[in-house]
Amino acid sequence: METKDPFDDEKSAEEKDIDDWIPINSLRHAKWWYSAFHNVTAMVGAGVLGFPYAMSQLGWGPGVTVLILSWIITLYTLWQMVEMHEMVPGKRFDRYHELGQHAFGQKLGLWIVVPQQLIVEVGVDIVYMITGGQSLKKFHNLVCKDCKNISLMYFIMIFASVHFVLSQLPNFHSISGVSLAAAVMSLSYSTIAWGASVDKGVQPDVQYGYKAKTTAGTIFNFFSALGTVAFAYAGHNVVLEIQSTMPSTPQRPSKVPMWRGVIAAYIIVALCYFPVALVGYWTFGNTVKDNILISLEKPKWLIATANLFVVIHLIGSYQIYAMPVFDMIETVLVKKLKFKASWYLRFVARNTYVAFTMFIAMTFPFFNGLLGFFGGFAFAPTTYFLPCIIWLQSTNQTDSACLGSLTGYA
């Protein structure tokens, strides 16, 4: 029998109906492999195609070190979050901000976590809206060279039109098929990227030195690359929401299947990130573009296929990051503003959010150029050190690995 909140018995039938209607609370019967592909979809974004470029800004030694340390540290902080999901007997922290409220208090915890989490989730959705449009445009240009040039704006609108439909799927369980397809696509286009690089071989006169001519430029590029790597590990922002879909009993708590899925996901993450970063940089050196597919160019049919895979992946990834935002919006509308929980409230609220991210993407198509900034400003805190701080605050223990992570980030 699943672990229940001790206050459930005191809730009215209406309150229970509302909790069942809200996305994160609705269903709890996912298997461990749901955790695996949801985490892969959340983690492995199109940003992996920029890893060779990040390597060109970091160099071989620092680049390999950053990749390995990021993988290890984020796996550790993800383990902490999985462990803390049911750290209070009989209660589940289904949302990141609930964990923050437990550690820092109701008001302070909300203000510490929610702004950062929203910056990450809304920022990712805007970036994916732009990147989805760009990948659609590249696919169109590759398969139809003689066609009339179409503005990026229209491709963003085409990409957004899919989300006006998919955003009506009520919860994480209902987007499982989309998420699974996205996870498969992420592994597929990553394999195409490094496989085509191996086939192309090391380019003539390849150079591995820093591109910037000045010390200031080199330092700026270095920190920008760190932000790009941080952006690639944003999955912590949705991990508790994913774990909330797992059943839990005293004999088999939700952390057991969740952690099993996380390990599988991180193996796939390593198979995507490391080959693309290392082989791409090995092939092109510091002349690599910020998207490895642009540097590859040929064979065109393969690059077109990879861009199509990117689009499919981004469709699923957008939904993964949008679902917690939908949960926040609908919780406020129904519980705070007392709107009636209904399909048309969900229809209006979610389509408004999709329209907002589409509008920002169309207005600022260079937004994804700010990956480094957002990676350092919000993605790194919620991934690298906020889990450690919450862990130390909640357990009252001195954790050397946690302190090492905080020191390393600083």
pLDDT digit string, tens, across residues 207-225: 887 877 788 888 888 888 8
Q: How far, in Å, CA of 53 to CA of 247, rounded?
A: 41
- Which ranges constitute the DSSP H helices of 44-105? 51-58, 60-84, 96-104
With a cut of 70, which residues of the chain have pLDDT below it?
A: 1-15, 25-27, 367-378, 397-410
Residue from 11, 383, 65, 33 nearest 233 by CA: 383
User: What confidence score (pLDDT) does residue 11 get?
Assistant: 56
Q: How far, in Å, CA of 361 to CA of 353, rounded?
A: 12
User: What confidence score (pLDDT) does residue 1 get?
Assistant: 44
Domain ranges of the chain: 28-409
User: What confidence score (pLDDT) does residue 2 get?
Assistant: 46
Which pair of tokens denotes residue 92?
Answer: 């589940």
Asked if 286 contacts 210 with a C-beta cutoff of 8 angstroms, the reply is: yes
Which pair of tokens denotes residue 29?
Answer: 């019967």
What does the pLDDT look like over 163-187, one tens digit per residue?
Answer: 999 999 988 888 889 999 999 999 9
User: What confidence score (pLDDT) does residue 398 get?
Assistant: 61
User: What confidence score (pLDDT) does residue 3 get?
Assistant: 47
User: What confidence score (pLDDT) does residue 260 get?
Assistant: 93
Candidate CATH numbers 1.10.4160.10, 3.40.50.1370, 3.40.50.970, 3.10.20.30; the one for domain 28-409 = 1.10.4160.10
Q: How far, in Å, CA of 92 to CA of 363, rounded?
A: 40
Q: How far, in Å, CA of 346 to CA of 84, rounded?
A: 30
User: What confidence score (pLDDT) does residue 369 get?
Assistant: 62
User: What confidence score (pLDDT) does residue 403 get?
Assistant: 57
Asked if 406 contacts 388 with a C-beta cutoff of 8 angstroms, the reply is: yes
The 8-class DSSP code of residue 336 comes to I
Residues 6+ apart with CB under 8 A from 135: 46, 307, 308, 310, 311, 314
